[in-house]
Amino acid sequence: MSGSPTRLPAWQALQDHHRIAAGFSLRELFARDPRRFDKFSLQCGDILFDYSKHLVTDETLHLLVELAHQCELPGWIARLFTGDKVNTTEGRPALHTVLRAQEPVMLDGQNIVAEVEHMLSRMERFCEEVWSGVRCGSAGRAFSDVVNIGIGGSDLGPMFVTEALASYARPRPRLHFVSNVDGAHLAGVLQGLTPETTLFIVASKTFFTLETLANARSARAWLAAKLGADGAARHFAAVTANPAAAREFGVATDAVFEFWDWVGGRYSLWSAIGLPIALAIGMDNFNALRSGAGEMDLHFRHAPLERNIPVLAGLLGVWYIDFFGAAAHAVLPYDQRLKRLPEYLQQLEMESNGKRVRRDGAEVDYATAPVVFGAAGTNGQHAFYQLLHQGTQLIPADFIACCRSDHQLAGHHALLLANYFAQTEALALGKTTAEAEAEMRRRGMPEIRIAALLPHRVFGGNRPTTSILLPRLEPRALGALIAFYEHKTFAQSVIWGINAFDQWGVELGKQLADRLLPELEGVAPASSHDASTNGLINHFKTHR
């Protein structure tokens, strides 16, 4: 596809269809078709994907799938998996799927799956040395704590997965994550640690990331103050695509783990960036995580579009964003261990698809990525669900839960799931005027009070939700869930004709920060920026 997707026949047919769809009633759709759930739900492995509570019919889905075909999505999926340079602005493939592949994949004449397997074997050996105490600190003591220093994809993925799979974690080492250049973050973590038993992993694709290197240098100074400069070196490992820079920093060669420029940062937790995950939960569980993702890869690559879970999720997002004007998307995990999933998906989706320029360099004339937000249920119910139910904006939402819990507290999981099921039903069906009146009469309210409260007690419903159910939160299922969102994001990028694998907006902020830093450290008043920035910098200098 070249040019704007808005010119495609399927897009224009969807615009016409939307005039009808705007009047859809989910109550009526379910009443007319008792088999709606059976028709509009799918499974991949053990994961159930229910999209029956969406404002769609068979015709809607037919048109959306036709749009995907006209945007050449099947061809782009093939290109993703076979190593074509789908990252067009940087001239690179995006082969994160190779990190969980079983069959050989050739790139520039090399079987890169073999390279991945070599990296995994090095990770396993490193983990075993840390666990056994063979790899220890300069004082000969085993590492009790590991601090991962990174930012973005070098932090969010490992932190999210490590916390989500905490029930699989070994007693030692304890894992900590530092990302913010605000010294309060690093200082707060270091406060509870002992230099002799702390290992730092510096994770940076380029090994030039300003925030990461600032934190790494401060960590090195903290160690050196107690252990000396030579002793501090034994307390570092590094994960990077620039191993020479890591060695120059002082990391021993056998503690440097390389990954490749065909792995994007926000897709990298399956690589050596996942070293903290492996240290926490073990290589068997890390491999199970990869295996679950690989299962979703096969589904995305081979399932027909109309039964392809990531494709359908992506198309439903396009349906709401571009035809209903939905500017936000809520991710609502009903599992406390998944509390960082919305934060992880903010980077995955908003950094990938938050673009206003197509691959061909032309500006889009349609909306792209929504604002992704969310919180763990039931906490979110007492924060922003009011807006989901009765606000003026249409906000589609993903509800995620596990059928079985890993704790033994009686009654808690049933109560949690009761809220999970109730919220999607309430958002879909709402509460009619007649239902609200009858409810208040049953409570014995006087008619005058009923009349006053009635407008506040009516819920319009028709708020679309996707329900995703996992058997339990175990590594394989979590891997499949993460890969599902990766592929959903890519499918949407193809429909919008944008490159999901660059992030020039992030680079701009880094460049400006590098330029500003000397000004902040100097004494001369700032005068080279706009009036607001000059004023703010000079106010800071006066009050620092």
Residues known to be catalytic: 351, 382, 510
Q: Which two tokens stand for residue 6?
A: 């808005």
For residues 451 and 191, give the distance between their C-alpha atoms in angstroms, rounded to a whole number.
Answer: 59
Q: In what order do the strands lie in the sheet with 397-402?
A: 41-44, 47-50, 465-470, 397-402, 328-333, 371-373
What backbone torsions phi and psi does residue 333 show, to the nearest 5 degrees?
A: -80, 125
For residues 461 and 130, give the distance between their C-alpha atoms in angstroms, rounded to a whole number.
Answer: 54
Smallest CA-to-CA distance from 398 within 427, 368, 355 is with 427
Q: Which residues contact 517 (CB under 8 A, 6 or more apart)?
A: none
Smallest CA-to-CA distance from 278 within 300, 257, 253 is with 257
Q: Report CA dihedral (223, 225, 227, 229) to the nearest 10 degrees.
A: 80
For residues 227 and 241, give the distance between their C-alpha atoms in angstroms, rounded to a whole number.
Answer: 29
Give the long-range contacts of residues 90-96, CB within 8 A, separation 24 or more: 90/501, 90/502, 92/261, 92/262, 92/501, 93/262, 94/262, 94/264, 94/267, 94/500, 94/501, 95/260, 95/262, 95/263, 96/263, 96/264, 96/267, 96/268, 96/270, 96/271, 96/486
Smallest CA-to-CA distance from 276 within 157, 182, 179 is with 157
- What is the Cα Rg of the chain in Å? 26
Q: Which residues of 297-319 are buried (b: 16+ CB within 10 A; e: fewer)?
A: bebbbebebeebbbbbbbbbbbb
